[in-house]
Amino acid sequence: MHIEQLKLRNYRNYESLDLSFSPNINVLIGENAQGKTNVMEAIYVLAMAKSHRTSNDRELIRWGADYGKIEGAVQRKYGVLPLELTLSKKGKKARVNHLEQQRLSDYIGQLNVVMFAPEDLHLIKGSPQVRRRFLDMEIGQVSRVYLHDLLQFHKVMRQRNAILKANQGRSGLTDVMFDVYTDQYVDLAIRIIRKRFEFAEMLQKWAEPIHRGISRGLEELVITYETMKDIEPDQSAEEMGNRLRERLDGLRQRELDRGVTLAGPHRDDLTFFVNGHNVQVYGSQGQQRTAALSLKLAEIELLRQETGESPVLLLDDVLSELDDYRQSHLLNTIQGQVQTLVTTTNVDGITHETIRKADLYRVTAGTAEHENHDD
């Protein structure tokens, strides 16, 4: 798939913008703070119905405007699909093929994207919360059931936590609704954990050979989904549920003391091992960057396998963060395979033929114009 056209209205620093893109490589050039990243973010928001930079949708609406709108024409294998997302004080409205969607979980997945930005280089060494968000966003693109389960899980956990908070500091708890919420919580938690195990296994399948290639055969990457120590991927759902329930029973008093749920997928993590060593703890910056790059390239292959179409790749100011070898490996991999949008302050330091053949756009103070290479 690829995005043919993007229209913005009152989005960030854009009052109005209408751009058409090549299905190959598109490079947005401009100084910092001119709006390059805002274009990339808008495509991400069009796909995911949320920003990768902020959880406050009001920040996405142009200063002084009542609403913001993102429209896109997405070329899918069965034809062009119009997408539209409107942001306002009342919330978000999403349309697919001009039809309003009642649930955002039905909207997400119409446009698949892989975002690679400087902060993604911290995916390996950042907090577990960053990696959980990565898991949720990527699985959500290919599984509406997972998105629905995740929303329900957080809702039930909030209800369970409210009872714990109301009884905080007490010794023991007898509450029928608490038991009902706990049963619902365990069921949803196990569904999420099983899907994450499955996703991590697929990610490993694609990332391992990619990482071996980037490291010139010197490194082996192993990706592991870390959940409760008594839960293993080969267990049945019933067995996993029993383990989690036992764990929660054992934590009951501590949960009452703290007023929060202390076990479940909201505390899980992904770990990365290179040649048997935890790269988050013991890896060099180069190894961490190679692992992050391998992860992003694996995402492309995984989404292609799951959906039958290549996602759109967004490279936001990341080429300058990679050395020449990793940069070349990335550009060689995507050449002719994936629609890619690249932001950079200039292309002088990028000698790769892929960039020389790219469509160029000059971004200046909330405007973006297509330009020829010989302009």
Q: How many CB atoms lie within 10 A of CB 241?
A: 19
Q: What is the dihedral of CA 110, 76, 352, 215, to 10 degrees?
A: 60
Whether the CB-CB separation of 338 and 312 falls below 8 Å is answered with yes
Assigned token pair, 115: 């975002």
Report the alpha-carbon distance of residue 344 to residue 357 in Å, rounded: 15
**131 class by beta-carbon count within 10 Å (0-12 exposed, 13-18 middle, 19+ buried):** buried
Question: What are the backbone angles phi and psi of residue 6, rounded to the nearest 5°?
Answer: -130, 130
Res 372: pLDDT: 66
Assigned token pair, 199: 């996703």
Q: Report pLDDT digits (tens) over 209-231.
A: 999 999 999 999 999 999 998 99
Please name the fold of domain 121-307: Glutathione S-transferase Yfyf (Class Pi); Chain A, domain 2 (1.20.1050)
How far are the Cα atoms of 77, 215, 229, 304, 352 from residue 124, in angstroms, in the given order? Answer: 34, 17, 21, 23, 27
State the average pLDDT over residues 276-294: 92
36 is in an annotated binding site: yes
Enter the CATH code of domain 1-112+309-375.
3.40.50.300
30 is in an annotated binding site: yes
In eight-state DSSP terms, residue 62 is: P
Amino acid at 68: G
Terminal C-alpha separation, the chain: 30
Could you tell me what percent of the chain has a pLDDT over 70? Answer: 98
Q: How confident is the model at residue 179 (pLDDT cuts 50, 70, 90)?
A: very high
126 is in an annotated binding site: no
35 is in an annotated binding site: yes
79 is in an annotated binding site: no
In eight-state DSSP terms, residue 101 is: P
Q: Report pLDDT digits (tens) over 125-161.
A: 899 999 999 999 999 999 999 999 999 999 999 999 9
Res 310: pLDDT: 94
State the average pLDDT over residues 232-242: 97
Q: Report pLDDT digits (tens) over 55-104.
A: 899 999 999 999 999 999 999 999 999 999 999 989 999 999 999 999 98
Most confident of 52-61, 100-109, 237-246, 339-348: 237-246
Task: Return the residue matching tokens 């070349």.
Answer: 328
Residues 6 or more apart in contact with residue 338 via CB below 8 angstroms: 300, 310, 311, 312, 313
Report the alpha-carbon distance of residue 203 to residue 207 in Å, rounded: 6
Q: Reply yes or no on whether the pLDDT at 351 is more than 70.
A: no
31 is in an annotated binding site: yes
Could you tell me what percent of the chain has a pLDDT over 90? Answer: 79
Q: How confident is the model at residue 178 (pLDDT cuts 50, 70, 90)?
A: very high
Task: Name the nearest CA neighbour of 185 among 109, 255, 132.
Answer: 255
Residue ranges of domains in the chain? 1-112+309-375, 121-307
Q: Reply yes or no on whether the pLDDT at 173 is more than 80.
A: yes
Angle between helices 128-142 and 176-214 (to 10 degrees): 90
Q: Report pLDDT digits (tens) over 244-275.
A: 999 999 999 999 999 999 999 999 999 999 99
Res 375: pLDDT: 47
How far are the Cα atoms of 202, 222, 255, 286, 293 from residue 326, in angstroms, in the given order? Answer: 23, 19, 46, 10, 8
Report the alpha-carbon distance of residue 174 to residue 192 in Å, rounded: 28
State the average pLDDT over residues 196-208: 96
152 is in an annotated binding site: no
Task: Name the nearest CA neighbour of 312 among 59, 95, 43, 53.
Answer: 43
How far are the Cα atoms of 143, 349, 374 from residue 110, in angstroms, in the given order? Answer: 11, 35, 36
335 is in an annotated binding site: no
Side by side, which strands form the sheet with 221-226? 221-226, 269-274, 277-278
Same topology, domains 1-112+309-375 and 121-307? Answer is: no
Report the alpha-carbon distance of residue 148 to residue 18 in Å, rounded: 33
